[in-house]
């Protein structure tokens, strides 16, 4: 890999490691300093490698330069004291070298601790996801803005507010105490779930970025399973859910970039290894006595990796949706349930239940009713598809609905 391609790749994989290890060393109140050191390190790499060529071990080179920059920062801090830069606690008993541990174990540990800091309950959920993308995933501001369909100024404001909260609340990067782990894991799991959904169901059209969002959410969830204290059933259920959905990623979009619904997907494009991975983590999630939404959603997603259109399948999915609505009601979950109802019982019953929801400003509501009515009343189906087309926000959704209207032949 040449220097032009290697630096962006290393930025994605090593930036987060440098920032999290430095934050673990300096404290969360110095997160912006850690980011500055990491950014300066990559700037120096870009300038130096372009002239001298690639070093033998590029990652080790980055760590060494980051350590030297941290050392220079600490020296400036020592001279200027509290006048400009807040005093940072570090060990000076034997050497002025900052105590920075770049071992794989410490990098892993630092990222895990950072996850809990980023997902602290006092930080707004949108800001948690943005901060996770920036600090834990190494995404640039432009990429984060694209993922959220907003501008750089909005993202910078979110990040600034989140970092201010880290400082004002004196939030530290550390694993919660055993009696707090479940509650704090709920917040972390929820943020990772949102991060994954931003990639899988995102309203933007950049396929590569969408996959990276999903991959990063899965990577961070996998980190949780590697630690004894955080490897709990709900985390395994979440990773199972992500794995099952990711297994069908290639079948969801055709070569034209058009969305392909489940019934029309080519199952030969499903990733069998990811399905096996999902099954493994779903088995791991069966331990314990706490049932979460991730358990139920993972079980539903698992049934969707079985393409056979049997009554047993849809009755099982319907029952899982019933349990999910009891556990945590959501209008969209209720809407999804009506499709399973149409398969398990009857289309007429599903239409009745769907219309009770009256989600008239949601394009998915009209799209589902259009799908159900096309079997019994094509005129009503066309009206609902037209309403869905007016409410749809993405080009992909609009293209799909237009194909549905054209297929009616009205």
Residue-range domain boundaries for the chain: 3-88, 103-231, 233-250+268-307
Q: Are 145 and 152 in contact (CB under 8 A)?
A: yes
CA distance 199 to 284: 25
CA distance 260 to 251: 7
What single string gives the DSSP state of each residue in 277-321?
A: HHHHHHHHHTSSS---HHHHHHHHHHHTT-----HHHHHHHHHHH
The two structure tokens encoding residue 48: 């130096």
Judged on CB neighbours under 10 Å (0-12, 13-18, 19+), 179 is exposed
- Average pLDDT over the chain, rounded to an integer: 88
Tell me what the mean pLDDT of segment 221-226 comes to: 96
Q: Are 217 and 242 in contact (CB under 8 A)?
A: yes
Among 204, 197, 198, 144, smallest CA distance to 393 is for 204
Q: How many CB atoms lie within 10 A of CB 288?
A: 12
List, for residues 254-308, the tens digit of each pLDDT value. 887 778 888 889 999 999 999 999 999 999 999 988 999 999 999 999 999 998 8
The two structure tokens encoding residue 182: 């479940």
The two structure tokens encoding residue 108: 């892993």
List, for residues 363-408, the tens digit of each pLDDT value. 999 999 999 999 899 999 999 999 999 999 888 889 999 999 999 9
* DSSP collapsed to 3 states, 169-220: CCCCCCCCCCCCHHHHHHHHHHHHHHHHHHHHCCCCCCHHHHHHHHHHHHHH
């Amino acid at each position: 890999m040449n220097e032009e391609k290697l630096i962006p790749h290393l930025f994605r994989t090593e930036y987060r490691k440098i920032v999290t290890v430095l934050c673990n060393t300096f404290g969360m109140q110095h997160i912006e300093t850690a980011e500055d050191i990491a950014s300066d390190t990559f700037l120096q790499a870009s300038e130096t490698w372009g002239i001298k060529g690639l070093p033998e071990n590029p990652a080790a080179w980055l760590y060494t330069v980051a350590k030297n920059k941290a050392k220079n920062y600490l020296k400036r801090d020592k001279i200027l004291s509290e006048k400009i830069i807040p005093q940072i606690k570090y060990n000076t008993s034997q050497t002025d070298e900052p105590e920075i541990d770049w071992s794989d174990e410490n990098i892993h540990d630092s990222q895990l601790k950072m996850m809990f800091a980023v997902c602290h309950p006092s930080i707004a959920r949108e800001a948690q996801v943005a901060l996770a993308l920036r600090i834990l995933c190494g995404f640039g501001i432009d990429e984060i803005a694209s993922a959220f369909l907003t501008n750089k100024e909005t993202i910078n404001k979110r990040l600034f507010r989140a970092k201010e909260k880290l400082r004002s609340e004196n939030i530290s990067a550390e694993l919660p105490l055993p009696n707090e782990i479940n509650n704090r894991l709920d917040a972390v799991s929820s943020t990772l779930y949102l991060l994954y959904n931003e990639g899988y169901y995102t309203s933007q059209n950049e396929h590569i970025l969408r996959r990276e969002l999903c991959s990063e959410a899965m990577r961070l969830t996998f980190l949780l399973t590697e630690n004894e204290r955080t490897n709990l059933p709900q985390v395994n259920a979440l990773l199972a859910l992500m794995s099952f959905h990711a297994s069908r990623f290639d079948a969801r979009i055709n070569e034209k970039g058009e969305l392909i619904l489940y019934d029309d997907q080519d199952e030969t494009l499903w990733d069998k290894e990811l399905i096996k991975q999902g099954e493994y983590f779903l088995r791991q999630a069966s331990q314990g006595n706490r049932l979460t939404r991730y358990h139920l959603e993972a079980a539903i997603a698992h049934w969707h990796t079985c393409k056979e259109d049997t009554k047993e399948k849809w009755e099982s999915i319907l029952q899982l949706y019933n349990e999910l609505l009891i556990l945590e009601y959501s209008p969209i979950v209720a809407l999804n349930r009506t499709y399973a109802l149409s398969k398990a019982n009857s289309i007429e019953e599903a239409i009745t239940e769907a219309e009770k929801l009256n989600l008239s400003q949601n394009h998915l509501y009209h799209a589902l009713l259009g799908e159900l009515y096309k079997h019994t009343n094509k005129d009503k189906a066309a009206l609902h598809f037209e309403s869905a087309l007016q409410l749809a926000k993405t080009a992909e959704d609009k293209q799909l609905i237009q194909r549905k209207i054209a297929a009616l032949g009205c």
